[in-house]
Chains A and B, each alone.
Chain A
Amino acid sequence: MNKEFCSNLTNSIVHALHEQKEGVPALKCHEEAGRLVVVVEGPRLDASISPTFKSDVAALIGRTNQDLVIDFREVSFLDSTALGTLVGLRKQIVLPRRLALRGLAPSLRRIFALTQLDAVFTIEGQGPTGPQAVSA
């Protein structure tokens, strides 16, 4: 995926989300070391939002062969429905592709630990910060 395609994809996803439902976080994507990084604009990813989030990220998964990173740095709350959505997305990423989660706040990492889903995902730290990370 080249940068132009990624940029077009980002714009179309953000546009589509804003049209669909108020309160649904937009997704911003960029390339980083060959991986597609999807930054979820917070603050919540919950049962009311998860179906839209799942279909949007599934569309991204289908349009690229890259490894995927979902970045939660702007998300402060996640519920069990959102966890189920992430498991569903994880199932769509088949080797040799990888799905990593990063930027999880301590309160979110606690939920992964309690459910033992930390064994299912690669959980990374904060990753790079700054404007280039979310708008490239």
Chain B
Amino acid sequence: MMRTGDAAPDAETSAALFGLAGARHINLVADLREIGPAVDTVIRGCARPGVEEPVLDAMRLALTEALNNIIEHSAHPSDVPIFVCVVANDTLARICIEDRGRELPSALLTPPAPEPVAEETALDDLADLDALPEGGWGWMLIHASVDRVAHERVNGRNFTLLERSMVVDPERDIAIAPCADIDGEAQSAAAGAHAGAKIEALS
């Protein structure tokens, strides 16, 4: 999956632009299947005692979405190398993504305002449902998950920075969608199934 040696990152530029001197780079190609393992490696590099899970979850989401966007909008063909490096301490993490693909569309680099979604009752109408977008949240989620996003194009390479405080911000890191109770009939059946499972486990 991840490779080293077949191409070199421009460590000098990422250090000069974003202060990531001495960071270890990992290497992936523009294949969506490589994102998960690469992101896991980077986030493991950010984890340390005292850093809470919502911070790492937010960084995982931001990095995944950034790589999704680079692969979908910039990095073609698929053998374009992508490098990710990270510098983290107890208070701050800086992740730099370097790719040699096309310049990212500038519209992707500014935080978009979320488009209001119609009320659920209206969405039972098929016409309203059909109008719902099936994508386009990537950069909004990135900007909602990190403190700073920066982008530079140098020597035909894109350098994208994601900077994030290691402290939980309850307002943005722990926003929770409301959870409905299931209806009475289903709840009753569910309770029965659960009880059945318990009985089976005890016997």
**B is a partner of A:** yes
Is B180 within 8 A of A32, CB to CB? no
Is A119 within 8 A of B174, CB to CB? no
| A contact residues around B185 at 8 Å (CB) | 33-34
Q: State the interface size on chain A (CB cutoff 8 A).
A: 51
Q: How large is the interface on B (under 10, 10 to 19, 20 to 34, 35 or more residues)?
A: 35 or more
Is B181 within 8 A of A125, CB to CB? yes
| A contact residues around B68 at 8 Å (CB) | 46-47, 79-81
Is B174 within 8 A of A110, CB to CB? yes
From B32, B118, B172, B182, give the contact of A119 (CB < 8 A): B118
Looking at the assembled complex, report how far the CB atom of A116 sits from the nearest CB atom of chain B, in whole angstroms.
4
Q: Within residues 109 to 127 of chain A, which ones have a CB less than 8 A from any CB in chain B?
A: 109-120, 122-125, 127
From A80, A104, A107, A122, give the contact of B57 (CB < 8 A): A107
| A contact residues around B119 at 8 Å (CB) | 119
Proximity bits, A51-89, B CB within 8 Å = 1, else 0 = 000000000000000000000000001011101110110
Closest-by-CB residue of A relative to B131 is A91
Is A80 within 8 A of B138, CB to CB? yes
From B36, B140, B179, B197, give the contact of A48 (CB < 8 A): B36
Is A132 within 8 A of B197, CB to CB? yes
Is A84 within 8 A of B135, CB to CB? yes
- Tell me, in angstroms, the Cα distance from A129 to B36 when the chains sit together: 28
Is B176 within 8 A of A109, CB to CB? yes
Proximity bits, A81-106, B CB within 8 Å = 1, else 0 = 10111011011001100001010101
Check A28 for interface membership: any CB of B closer than 8 A: no
Looking at the assembled complex, report how far the CB atom of B130 sits from the nearest CB atom of chain A, in whole angstroms.
6
Closest-by-CB residue of A relative to B129 is A91
23 A-B contacts (beta carbon < 8 Å)? A23-B33, A34-B185, A46-B64, A47-B35, A80-B68, A84-B137, A100-B180, A107-B54, A109-B176, A110-B57, A111-B141, A112-B177, A114-B114, A114-B137, A114-B175, A116-B116, A119-B123, A120-B117, A120-B132, A122-B120, A125-B181, A128-B190, A129-B194
Apart from the given pairs A90-B129, A90-B132, 8 other A-B contacts in the complex at a CB distance below 8 Å: A87-B133, A100-B182, A114-B144, A117-B117, A120-B117, A130-B197, A130-B201, A133-B197
